[in-house]
């Protein structure tokens, strides 16, 4: 009998200890923290009912007690969650949420400017992607490394040959950022990335004028966000053929490098054919940069003028070549060496024309740009992606509403209404959803790079807030940052180095090949993707919002990419600027 009692006591203790140990895994919340005056929610994924408390980590005192919500069913998984709403807690401090008798959440902060370090880290992530330079310990810490890919001896691929630049011509195309987990650089993906980052500065200049991120250019008289942008901008300028204005698609190896450090990757580098998409993306970026950099002409003399001339020349080339697709499969049938790296191929250029025309119109004031292409071919407002950038143009038109004239001014009410209506649709019933986030309204949100869906939804909501001044859009944008930082069906904070449970094994050559246990910080991974195109065997589920694995093999869910980091940086930076102004 004594043995039975002892066994029961041991079993009860172990079960309780296990529950307490596992509590962090089923209390899902933003693992960094909350603004004092913002909504604060945790999601409980186990079938637990009753009370919860919020405790001060410093004093151990209970500062808030309430009851979990009734269960709510996920439309994606069919599983049930409960909501712990602790919005009344507004005091600055470090806290835990506890389910009595069960266990505690990860610690989190409540304070103003709670995401400043995150915003800084997401921008610093681009510095860690720099090529053609050594990263020194002063700026890169334990992730310092030797220079890789100087790209001052880049070969014109036979498929890209012209009379003025025959096959085998050597050009110099240094700087730029590694595009993703690989070591190549692509104009199309740089396009949306740069457009998003330049827009972040244009929307919130006061915030970024003073934000330092500890890079070699810090303190030079220009904001660090722009200093980092310039590293990629100067590379992009080298990609324009000076003889005709067209823009090459990418600088690349013939094949992807292995998981080696950049300094060990020394195979030949090529520029490949020009294309309409690359040239228009380039034109849009250069036109936008041309109106931002005059203010910093002492730091970057002549850069604005160079960007403007390049933008106009690129536009002229695209007008003469409006349907020239970059088709890598076709190219590889005719020319050697065969190129097997990312194609970023696109065949519909209407969105690129809309974006480039918008940027050129706003920068120059010339209405012929605006009228050159149908600006509203339909009523859709598709979230920005590398192959659909029209919303970047619409955001610019909205940003400069007071400068619009003629047709653009006449069209503006329709544009404003469509952005706000799209935001309304995104936020329908958000308070009733299983995770109370805008992200995850349907399984369709979970695609390759789903975290960029979440962050681009957040940007659209912020644009709607700026247009309407309706606070609900700002608060709903914040739910998607909560999603990215842990309030999701995986329990991960998806930004390396920011949060308690973060990706440790991203599909990222730099992080895998160095001798540092921690991955390069400030990089957002792709996120849940039920397509599982990489064939990794470690996915825990095919349920769309759970289909994520923290494994190097998972390029479909765990790769990083500059076009995902940019909207994440925008969302964190914009929320900091708007909640703390």
Q: Tens digits of per-residue pLDDT, 336-382?
A: 999 999 999 999 999 999 999 999 999 999 999 999 999 999 999 99
User: DSSP states of 319-372 as a string?
Assistant: HHSTT----HHHHHHHSSS---S--------HHHHHHHHHHHHHHH--HHHHHT
Could you please state the CATH topology (level 3) that the domain comprising 2-110 is classified under. Immunoglobulin-like (2.60.40)
**Residue 20: per-residue pLDDT:** 43
Does the annotation count 424 as an active-site position?
no
Lowest mean pLDDT among 16-20, 81-85, 321-325: 16-20
Q: What is the mean pLDDT of residues 528-543?
A: 98
Domain ranges of the chain: 2-110, 116-499+554-579
Instruction: Please give the Cα distance from 420 to 95 (Å, whole number).
Output: 36
**Residue 221: per-residue pLDDT:** 98
**Residue 22: per-residue pLDDT:** 79
Instruction: Please give the Cα distance from 395 to 375 (Å, whole number).
Output: 13
* Class of residue 334 by CB neighbours under 10 A (exposed 0-12, middle 13-18, buried 19+): exposed
- The residue length of the chain stands at 581
Does the annotation count 241 as an active-site position?
no
Q: The CATH number of 116-499+554-579 is which of 1.50.10.10, 2.60.40.10, 3.40.640.10, 3.90.1150.10? A: 1.50.10.10
The string of pLDDT tens digits covering residues 136-171 is: 999 999 999 999 999 999 999 999 999 999 999 999
Q: What is the mean pLDDT of residues 502-529?
A: 98
The string of pLDDT tens digits covering residues 89-137 is: 999 999 999 998 899 999 999 999 999 999 999 999 999 999 999 999 9
Q: Which two tokens stand for residue 295?
A: 């203010």
**Residue 47: per-residue pLDDT:** 87
Instruction: Please give the Cα distance from 350 to 358 (Å, whole number).
Output: 12
Give the percent of the chain with pLDDT over 90. 95
Q: Residue written as tokens 């369709």?
A: 444
Partners of 212 in the beta sheet? none
**Residue 19: per-residue pLDDT:** 43
Does the annotation count 550 as an active-site position?
yes
**Residue 11: per-residue pLDDT:** 32
Q: Is 13's pLDDT higher than 50?
A: no
Question: Cβ neighbours of residue 297 under 8 Å, at least 6 residues apart?
Answer: 303, 304
Give the percent of the chain with pLDDT over 70. 96
**Residue 581: per-residue pLDDT:** 80
Asked if residues 279 and 317 have their Cβ atoms less than 8 Å apart, the reply is: yes
pTM tops 0.75, yes or no: yes
116-499+554-579 shares the fold of 2-110: no
Catalytic site residue from 182, 241, 244, 352: 182
Q: Is 229's pLDDT higher than 60?
A: yes
φ, ψ for residue 124, nearest 5 deg: -60, -25
> Is-cis flag, bond preceding 337, omega within 30?
yes
Instruction: Please give the Cα distance from 425 to 370 (Å, whole number).
Output: 28
Q: What is the mean pLDDT of residues 503-520?
A: 98
Does the annotation count 182 as an active-site position?
yes
Catalytic site residue from 96, 149, 352, 507: 507
Comparing CA positions, the residue from 248, 249, 266 lying closest to residue 257 is 266
Which DSSP symbol is given to 102? T
């Amino acid at each position: 009998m004594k043995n039975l009692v002892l066994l029961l006591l041991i079993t009860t203790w172990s079960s309780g200890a296990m529950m307490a140990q596992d509590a962090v895994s089923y209390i899902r919340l933003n693992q960094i923290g909350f603004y004092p005056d913002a909504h604060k929610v945790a999601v409980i994924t186990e079938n637990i009912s009753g009370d919860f408390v919020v405790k001060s980590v410093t004093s151990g005192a209970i500062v808030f007690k309430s009851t979990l919500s009734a269960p709510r069913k996920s439309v994606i998984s069919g599983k049930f969650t409960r909501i712990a709403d602790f919005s009344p807690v507004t005091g600055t401090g470090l806290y835990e949420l506890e389910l009595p008798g069960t266990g505690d959440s990860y610690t989190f902060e409540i304070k103003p400017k709670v995401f400043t370090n995150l915003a800084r880290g997401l921008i610093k992530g681009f510095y860690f992607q720099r090529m053609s330079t050594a990263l020194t310990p002063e700026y890169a810490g334990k992730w310092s490394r030797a220079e890789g890919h100087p790209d001052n001896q880049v070969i014109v691929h036979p498929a890209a040959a012209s009379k003025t630049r025959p096959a085998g011509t050597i050009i110099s195309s240094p700087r730029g950022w590694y595009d993703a987990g690989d070591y190549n650089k692509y104009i199309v993906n740089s396009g949306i990335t740069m457009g998003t980052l330049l827009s972040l500065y244009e929307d919130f200049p006061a915030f970024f004028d003073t934000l330092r991120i500890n890079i070699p250019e810090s303190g030079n008289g220009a904001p660090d966000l722009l200093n980092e942008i310039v590293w990629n901008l100067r590379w992009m300028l080298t990609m324009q053929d000076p003889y005709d204005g067209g823009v090459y698609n990418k600088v690349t190896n013939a094949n992807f490098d292995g998981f080696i450090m950049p300094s060990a990757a020394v195979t030949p580098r090529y520029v490949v054919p020009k294309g309409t998409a690359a040239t228009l993306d380039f034109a849009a970026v250069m036109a936008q940069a041309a109106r931002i950099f005059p203010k910093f002409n002492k730091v970057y003399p002549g850069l604005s003028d160079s960007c403007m001339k390049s933008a106009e020349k690129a536009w002229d080339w695209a007008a003469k070549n409006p349907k020239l697709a970059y088709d890598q499969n076709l190219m590889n049938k005719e020319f050697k060496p065969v190129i097997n790296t990312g194609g970023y191929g696109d065949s519909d250029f209407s969105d690129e024309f809309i974006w480039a025309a918008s940027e050129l119109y706003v920068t120059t004031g010339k209405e012929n740009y605006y009228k050159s292409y149908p600006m509203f071919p339909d009523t859709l407002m598709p979230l920005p992606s590398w192959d659909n950038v029209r919303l970047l143009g619409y955001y610019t038109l909205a940003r400069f509403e007071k400068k619009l004239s003629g047709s653009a001014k006449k069209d503006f009410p329709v544009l404003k209404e469509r952005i706000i209506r799209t935001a309304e649709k995104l936020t329908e019933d958000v308070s009733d959803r299983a995770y109370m986030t805008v992200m995850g309204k349907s399984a369709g949100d979970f695609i390759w790079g789903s975290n960029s869906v979440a962050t681009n939804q957040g940007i659209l909501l912020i644009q709607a807030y700026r247009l309407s001044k309706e606070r609900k859009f700002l608060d709903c944008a914040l739910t998607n940052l909560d999603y990215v930082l842990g309030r999701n069906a995986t329990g991960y904070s998806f930004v390396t180095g920011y949060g308690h449970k973060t990706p440790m094994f991203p599909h990222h050559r730099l992080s895998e090949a160095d001798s540092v246990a921690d991955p390069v910080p400030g990089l957002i991974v792709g996120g849940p993707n039920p397509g599982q195109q990489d064939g990794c065997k470690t996915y825990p589920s095919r349920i769309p919002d759970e289909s994520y694995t923290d494994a190097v093999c998972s390029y479909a869910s765990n790769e990083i990419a500059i076009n995902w980091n940019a909207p994440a940086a925008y969302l964190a930076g914009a929320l900091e600027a708007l909640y703390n102004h």
